[in-house]
Amino acid sequence: MLSLRAPPRTFSPPPWRRLGRHGGFAAPRCASAAAPAATLETAASPPASVSFPILVNGCTGKMGVSVAEAATSRGLHLVPVSFSSRENLGKTVQIGDTEIEIYGPSSREDVLSSVIDEFPDVVVVDYTAPDSVNSNAELYCELGVPFVMGTTGGDQQLLYKSVQDSKNYALISPQMGKQVVAFLAAMETIAVQYPGAFSGYRLEVLESHQAGKLDTSGTAKAVIACFEKLGVSWDMDRIVKVRDPEQQLYMVGVPEEHIEGHAFHLYHLTSPDDSVSFEFQHNVCGRSIYAEGSVDAAVFLHKKVQSGDPKRIYNMIDVLQEGAMR
């Protein structure tokens, strides 16, 4: 049974056990279809301060479509092509007034070369599939196209090496959500300043995402890495990864309307003698937080390319530190 160990009896049950349906997470107050325009899911973004061509790869998936829609609403020029990790020849996707033609892996190089000829200052945002991360990145580097890698998975060491060897511009991050990035930055600061502070503590981690997310949460891995620096011993195989909709609905407490698009994380720490416990939780419903962050990343990277910045590889913390988050 997928569950986390109950906290010591000396403590009140944590909120995710008290309030979630059937003992699941405390579900956040997520936007619904009837929510007003000011909610997270439908909030209008201010126009981008710059305009440039953006090519969103992965528009056959919901995340790619969300990024393309966010880019259009920012006033960026959406290039009318996209790559898929599968051969979807002849398929098109409508994003606003732009009809996106989908190309399979065999057409990537020819299509991208043509795009560069027509749009020499294009920036690519990649939301394809984990098994396409490295081959896509190698192509971007070979052709000198700056890219934002939003797809998680693949060989990360090889990904960074491809960018370093080519001296291409890239922004690589396992997490594109703006507020979650700030949380990760805070966790990293704590880990660096107070190493070993949680030595001996037991860690339990549960992460829940839509069934279509094949890999383990990159955000969970990043937070766990911080806890390891704080002295916690951990094996990544121990992450409780929930992808079953029924378990998400009744055990985790994900609102039904967001079963197909959410990111719930829980990290529970317990002292060796069970007398102290800490809990960290961040729940996201929908995809707008990631889509807006991805566009922030593309705008940031475009400016770095145009200024000829000597640094070539960035992450979302760089965007955050520069105050470039909307």
Q: Residue 147 in contact with residue 123, Cβ under 8 Å?
A: yes
Query: Whole-angstrom Cα distance, residue 221 to residue 180?
Result: 13
- How many whole angstroms separate alpha carbon 312 and alpha carbon 14? 43
Residue 118's H or E segment, with its range, is helix 108-118
- Cα Rg of the chain (Å, integer): 21
Spatial distance between the Cα atoms of 317 and 325, rounded to a whole number of angstroms: 10
Residue 189, SS3 per DSSP: helix
Q: Is 209 noted as a catalytic residue in this protein? A: yes
Q: Choosing from 22, 91, 167, 209, which is the catalytic residue? A: 209
The two tokens of residue 146 are: 């700056």
Distance CA 295, CA 285 (A): 19
| Region of residue 90 (left: phi > 0; alpha: psi -120 to 50; beta: else) | left
Sheet holding 202-209, edge to edge: 240-242, 202-209, 262-270, 277-285
Question: Among the options 62, 91, 178, 213, which is catalytic?
Answer: 213
Q: Which residues are catalytic?
A: 209, 213
